[in-house]
Structure 1
Amino acid sequence: MTRIFIDADACPVKDEVYRVAARYSLPVSVVSNRMIAVPQSPDIERIIVEAGPDCADNWIAEHAGPGDVVITTDIPLASRCVACGAEVLDPKGKHLDGNAIGMALAMRDLMTDLRSAGVMTSGGSAFTKTDRSRFLSALDTLIVRVRKKIR
């Protein structure tokens, strides 16, 4: 069965995930290192991991697998999940698959190197209504595709 994992600490689309998951009766694991409010639902599980770098990422990477969907902005976590066969979607609706993850990792590393060299880089763009709409559409499409694939 498909499960949705949310890397929840800074995820702006949790409510959207809950709505789509309810439509398809899919379980959701909301993973964070602090208490996050979640709706009362037997299909939504709150996972609180110990505080520390990558604790939530490690939990998700250890539990996600083929047929699952992971929502994250964390590129290294996305890479680990893709390697395990999970589908990954960022909150702006970008599907990070085996083809896209290599470029995303390279861009992340380049930006890290530039910042460490003192180059001023722009931050990410603000999250917009268009991003939210794109995410909802992409999540719905991805779930339909994943469910067809695992049948």
Structure 2
Amino acid sequence: MPEPAGPIAIYVDADACPVKAEVYKVAERHRLKVFVVANSFMQIPRDPMIERVLVAAGPDAADDWIAERAARGAIVITADIPLASRCIKAGADVIGPTGKPFTTDSIGMALATRNLMEDLRSTGEVTGGPRPFAAKDRSTFLSALDLAIVRLKRAGFGG
């Protein structure tokens, strides 16, 4: 009989995350631990399963904290493509706030697109950013998070 897997943990790259409330709701339903990682103080619900992690100010402090803990059985919520890439390599499930899962198959293209857009913005050819967050994104995110949790539970990870 295989060794039971550990608990599922959710790591939220929280500084600009528009779906924190949704993460809290889903995590409560499944009784999962949530780490809300930011480099500035942030209000979180009073719940022993939700932990605020304040990291030092710095461009990658929150990313580094999350990436060091990312592993199979972890779910990382981030829009940061380089962080998503690091977490996927560590075996974590990664979901963007719009509900788009980052996978081994999709992360290379996401990194290439990000780098291209960064280059185009730096030359002034593109001045806009991503499209605004929409209600449909929230719904898609909730479905993607539930799906990731169910998949991990089927793989033997617990709540």
Q: TM-score range by the shorter chain?
A: over 0.9
Supply the distance in 1 between the matched residues of 2:33 and 2:50 (Cα, whole angstroms).
Answer: 6
TM-score (norm 1): 0.97
Q: Which residue does 1:13 correspond to in 2?
A: 19
List runs of 5+ in structure 2 lacking aligned partners: 1-6
* 1:88 aligns to 2:94 (yes or no): yes
Which amino acid is 1:130 matched to? Answer: K
CA contact (8 A) 2:117 2:126 kept: no
Deviation at 1:64, TM superposition (A): 1.5
Partners in 2 of 1:82 and 1:106 — Cα distance? 16
**1:5 and 1:70 in contact (8 A); partners too:** yes
Pairing 1:117–2:123 present? yes
- Kindly state the Cα deviation for residue 5 of structure 1 after the two structures are TM-superposed: 0.2
Q: CA deviation at 1:123?
A: 1.5
TM-score under structure 2 normalisation? 0.92
Q: How many residues align?
A: 151
Partner of 1:142: 148
Q: Distance in 2 between matches of 1:83 and 1:118?
A: 33
Contact 1:89–1:95 (Cα < 8 Å) also in 2: yes
Kindly, what percent of the aligned residue pairs are identical?
Answer: 56
Q: Show structure 1 runs of 5+ residues with no match.
A: none
Q: Contact conserved, 1:67 with 1:150, CA < 8 A, in 2? A: no
| Alpha-carbon distance in 1 for matches of 2:129, 2:123 | 16
Q: Alignment partner of 1:114: what SS?
A: helix
Counterpart of 1:103 in structure 2 is: 109
One-letter amino acid of the counterpart of residue 65, structure 1:
A
1:55 aligns with 2:61: yes
Higher RCO (Cα < 8 Å, 6 or more apart): 2
Distance 1:121 1:107 in 2: 15
Whether 1:39 aligns to 2:9 is: no
RMSD of aligned residue pairs (Cα, Å): 0.9
Would you say 1:127 and 2:133 are equivalent positions? yes
| CA distance, structure 1, for counterparts of residue 64 and residue 156 of structure 2 | 25
